[in-house]
Amino acid sequence: MSHPYYPQDLFIPDYVPNLKSQLELFLIMGGVFVCLATVFYRLGKNSGSPLKFIWFMICGLLHCGFELYYALNVGHIASQNNLLAQLWKEYAKGDSRYVIYDPSLLALEIMTIIIYGPLCFLTAYTIWIKSNKQYFFQLVVSMCHLLSCSLYFLTELPDAAHCHPAYFWGYFLSMNAPWII
């Protein structure tokens, strides 16, 4: 069966195409992010830094939720069609390593699940209670994100074989840029 991933001859066992369109997936994710940002804004509005609180809470959820799904289903995402699998398959158009088993990518994701996610929640908590420790934790988490994004890019960029040319900028680079900037 043909697939939309690069390289085009990549063997993806049991691949099934997404049931939802790219637009539907974007609208669902956008709605989820708006709802989460609203809830976290209400929780963190008295923290003095509600936007930072929102950022670290959403990062924690992405690391401990969305990325955990990847780690638990690595090697099987291509054959699934639940919402999270479809989101990963859409993202994989920019990096097809997410629809196959790639040990270096799995190691990076496990690191973000076990270390970065909980650190993001801890950072959000220190922001929420207005602790001076928030600055230390922000620095640590930011350096961790910079490290993992650098490793992520360095493991793919030398040949960019797993990047669809049209999705390279939109997914691979742009969706990871917030953790670098």
The pLDDT of residue 169 = 66
Q: What is the pTM of this model?
A: 0.90
- Output the pLDDT for position 110: 97
**Predicted pLDDT at 95:** 86
Query: Mean pLDDT score of the chain, rounded to an integer?
Result: 90
Q: Please report the pLDDT score of residue 63 as a whole number.
A: 97
Cα 70 to its chain centre, rounded Å, is 10
Q: What is the pLDDT of residue 160?
A: 65
Give the pLDDT of residue 158: 64
pLDDT for position 162: 62
Q: Give me the residues of the chain with pLDDT under 50, please.
A: none
Cβ-based neighbour number of residue 161 at 10 Å: 11
Give pLDDT, residue 173.
Answer: 63
pLDDT digits (tens, 9 = 90+) for 41-71: 999 999 999 999 999 999 999 999 999 999 9
pLDDT at 178: 74
